[in-house]
Chain A
Amino acid sequence: MPQFKEEKLDLDSKTSPKREDRLGTIKNYAGSLSDLVEDYKSGKGLEWRNRTFEQSGGCLLTQTVMRLVTIRDSILIIHGPVGCSQGTNGYREMFQKIPLALGKPQEFELAVLSSNLSESDIVFGGEKKLRQAIIEANARYNPKSIIIATSCASGVMGDDIEGVVDSIQPEIQASLVPVHCEGFRSKINQTAFDASSHAIVKYLVKPPKKKQKDLVNIIAPFSVTWADRVEINRLFAKVGLRANYVPDFATTEELETMSEAAVTAPTCASYGEYLQRALFEKFGVPYFREPGPLGLQNTADWFREIAKHTGKEKEIEALIEEEISIVTPLLEELKKNLKASMNGKEASIFVAAGQLRIAFIPRLAAELGIKVAAISSREIDPYIVEDLVKVHEELGDFEVHSSDEQPFEHSHMLNRLKPDLYTGCPFMGVYKREGSQVRNHSFRSDFSIPANQFVFRGILNYGYIVQRSLQNQSLTRTLHAKTPSPYKSWWYEQPDALAYSKAL
């Protein structure tokens, strides 16, 4: 079986390469898991295809700014026209209502400035405006760092971002961190995660003053909720570990000291892969890429990986045993109720998510007694196929799809496979159909207790939502019956969800 090979990262370069070049990532796939596994074993790589019809999704900028804006003592500058900052305009306020008991930091102030590029800037260049925004951000907030996110407009113009940064950095104390997230730069918008990780490691992370054997960096995008943090902290405290949640919602100092941690643990493979590797290659912080802490088995394995690097094997084995013994009876009851909601039939699920979830929710689903009809990943990196090989051995076959969540393709697959439940990104809208739908994870802005879906007890919260959703399908059914669908009927009558994808 071929092993996925990785080149060493060039952390001194201006920014990360695009993911399609660095990893051979794709975002067009439809087939069975067994085919994917077969192709992988025979050495046939993932094939890049272009779509002649696409729906809008995210770009490098939208993918990263909503995360970078949460760095607590940093100010974000979006160097583009005013519309590029639209998605972050609510972030200053979004986390204000979170109870302190859930771990909301006492004092933080999030702010985003747009350099507001206008017609004359496009003619004369945007550097003057960027400089103005940096000075303004610094004077208004006195931040520890200022993160600069580039846009399509600044990229096409060729603004010399590093030149501006180099010229102004000596004059201010805040560390300037330019992130190259020009929207057009890569067809794989997750390249943005690499670009922001690259910049954070290049401009912020400091060599370790001391190694902290009990400190665990946890990659924490917005799907790691406050309730997740409380639960992880509770478990960590029992075994004498501390979590450093990065990069989202960290302070500049917490980012600077990522190099001191004993290990970097994943919760999202797409998000964390570059950061984990960069911390390893530059500062020797070990990491593991899988599994994600979803469900009982995956969480146990996740903790065991952490144990290897922290010397906590004994404590962690005891923790696993205790947690599983608490969760198991509740899970058994939940499984019974789930089955009853389906009149004794096994429910089927369509999982549309990021790579870590599509690879590890199948195991969680099996623990809940749910059958996987299909998984649909935003993108597929070759390394995740290695995980899927294991999933195939354990759970057998189901369909695999990747489209960066193109709704017309999801709609096609849902219409054909008719799973009882669709779990996906809530941004995609409601799929009008006979069948239920639930978001596949919570957000950090949701500070309810059931928003805890990671680690051992998370499976219960996830299961309760699934159960309620299976029992009441009125929203999707009503919209299906009473409102029109935009896709013409021929789309559903032909068999191929990738009909608009072409090999190069």
Chain B
Amino acid sequence: MANISLVKKEDLTEQPSDQRCLEAPKYTCSLGGALAVITNINRIIPIIHAGAGCGQNQLLSFRMAGGLQGIGYISGVNAPSTNMSENEVVFGGETRLRDQVRATLDLIDGDAYFVVAGCISNMIGDDIDSVAREFAEEPTPVLAVNASGFSGNSNTGYELVFETFIRKLVKPKPKVKGLVNILGIVPYQDVFWRGNLRAIKEALQKLGLKVNQFVGDASGLEGIKNISAAELSIVISPWVGVKTAKLIEEKFDVPYVTFPFLPSGPIDTSAFVRAVAQKLKIPKAKYEKLIAEEEAEAYNDLNIAGDSCAQFGPALPFNIIAGASTAVGITRYLTKLAGFTATQVIINDDPPEEVREEIIKNLQDVGGLPPKVVFEIDSWEIRQHLKKSNFRLLLATSQERFLAESEGKIFLNVSFPANSRLVVRETYAGYGGGVAIIEHVLSKFIVP
């Protein structure tokens, strides 16, 4: 029986992203983004000041959807949390928070403690900064950030955490020659963040640089404090991290350079290396020698994988659904080097209007005809776009997997949510990153 509805559905796709409901969203909230960063800086301990389920949603479900990455040192449902209830909603949550901070300092071994406040705390007006200040005499710093879920998405949370570090903790330091900060790669929102940061770091280390990646390595609090000692901040994203980089420049006189997508394979990785090297005035002879060596190796990789590309996936038409940085990076490698055909690129992480033109521009100088570019954040709308497109390969989130597979398409999970892929060291970044995509894609369907 048809469901007769008297109310008409609106076209939500024209609405601003905060004015529309979302089916199976492609990001989580500010709190999730903030916790994703904090729990991946070595020995920095999160203290969630929010409802009891926020830790489960943001540190368990978000981590799992971000490539099934487990709890590690202290995260998931292990994360200290005030688990705010009716009592706090009525009487305020500061007393509860004070007890929790005290106890966390006593019980959990860390180098710094970071209160992250969610929706309830903000709505009832808890003064989390003043509670944090009460612990100013402690040997370890106690910081606080308001990252209410309704204040933005995962990317917002990432910037909020760095803003707090920079305003409250980082002090000016003498510059260390060759030290660079890496920004813009948000854990889990980029499911390959561990491998991507490692690949970027390795590429830069070969240039003789010291890399301050803070997130995901052992540097921890020292790494954060060294933000001000860098000669350059490098943002790898069209917009995420730019706000942080500007703040670092303003406060500590560290310039920044933006590379607006993930460099994958020899062409873009060389472009990335050149952009950084030129900014740091590294002698051309030095970086060009390095580039030549690395490129030779990367093109040899392609030479080995290329026969199979030609044989099994000639000009393979594909759609990709991912955040802007990943979508652009992978599309450029596959089309400019591996001969694949991009028919549609769906950017699902809601870039601000002002960077969309640049994203589209970076998808024009690709191999073959430029793809159709769509900005869409709702899973149902994305499926409608897929139904209208011609492709054999779908590089997307796990939310598109069964639509693709039920129609006999080749599917590879490359973006968040990645509930069907365990990712620890894998990466599509850097000189070796490109050929890894070919390996993963072709291994999906070549028989026997």
User: CB-CB < 8 A to B100: which residues of A?
Assistant: 52-54
CB pair A184–B149 under 8 Å, yes or no, is no
Contact of B22 among A82, A483, A485 (CB under 8 A): A82
A85 at the interface (CB under 8 A from B): yes
1/0 contact string of B370-385 vs chain A (CB within 8 Å): 0000000001100000
B212 at the interface (CB under 8 A from A): no
A205 at the interface (CB under 8 A from B): no
B398 at the interface (CB under 8 A from A): yes
B195 at the interface (CB under 8 A from A): no
B252 at the interface (CB under 8 A from A): no
B151 at the interface (CB under 8 A from A): yes
User: CB-CB < 8 A to B45: which residues of A?
Assistant: 486
Closest to B63 in A: A86
Q: How far is the CA of A138 from the CA of B29 in the complex (A)?
A: 25
User: CB-CB < 8 A to A63: which residues of B?
Assistant: 53
CB pair A90–B18 under 8 Å, yes or no, is no
B289 at the interface (CB under 8 A from A): no
A129 at the interface (CB under 8 A from B): yes
CB pair A83–B54 under 8 Å, yes or no, is yes
Within residues 351 to 385 of chain B, which ones have a CB less than 8 A from any CB in chain A? 379-380
B20 at the interface (CB under 8 A from A): yes
Nearest Cβ on chain A to B176's Cβ, whole angstroms: 28
Which of B79-87, B259-267, B315-323 lies at the binding interface? B79-87
A4 at the interface (CB under 8 A from B): no
User: CB-CB < 8 A to B164: which residues of A?
Assistant: none
Q: How far is the CA of A83 from the CA of B108 in the complex (A)?
A: 26
Within residues 70 to 122 of chain B, which ones have a CB less than 8 A from any CB in chain A? 70-71, 73-74, 76-86, 88-89, 99-100, 102-104, 106-110, 118-120
Q: How far is the CA of A82 from the CA of B104 in the complex (A)?
A: 28
CB pair A491–B107 under 8 Å, yes or no, is yes
Which of B1-9, B166-174, B271-279, B326-334 lies at the binding interface? B1-9
User: CB-CB < 8 A to A83: which residues of B?
Assistant: 28-32, 54, 57-58, 62, 149
A342 at the interface (CB under 8 A from B): no
Nearest Cβ on chain B to A318's Cβ, whole angstroms: 43
CB pair A116–B22 under 8 Å, yes or no, is yes
CB pair B123–A136 under 8 Å, yes or no, is no
B48 at the interface (CB under 8 A from A): yes
**Given A93-B399, A189-B53, A484-B73 in contact, is the A135-B28 Cβ separation under 8 Å?**
no
CB pair B54–A53 under 8 Å, yes or no, is no
CB pair B23–A54 under 8 Å, yes or no, is no
Nearest Cβ on chain A to B186's Cβ, whole angstroms: 14
A343 at the interface (CB under 8 A from B): no
**Given A89-B419, A156-B123 in contact, is the A119-B78 Cβ separation under 8 Å?**
no
CB pair A82–B25 under 8 Å, yes or no, is yes
Contact of B7 among A52, A122, A172, A427 (CB under 8 A): A172
Q: How far is the CA of A484 from the CA of B70 in the complex (A)?
A: 15
Within residues 68 to 112 of chain A, which ones have a CB less than 8 A from any CB in chain B? 77, 80-87, 89-90, 92-94, 96, 111-112
B56 at the interface (CB under 8 A from A): yes
CB pair B56–A58 under 8 Å, yes or no, is yes
Closest to B86 in A: A184
CB pair A120–B18 under 8 Å, yes or no, is yes
1/0 contact string of B36-61 vs chain A (CB within 8 Å): 00000000010010111111111111
A-B pairs with lowest CB-CB distance, top 3: A56-B55, A59-B53, A83-B29
Please list 22 pairs of residues, one from A and one from B, whose beta carbons are closer than 8 Å in the complex, sorted by A's number. Answer: A53-B103, A59-B51, A59-B83, A60-B53, A62-B53, A81-B150, A84-B29, A86-B57, A89-B65, A89-B419, A90-B399, A93-B401, A118-B150, A135-B5, A138-B3, A153-B120, A171-B6, A429-B71, A484-B109, A485-B109, A486-B73, A491-B107
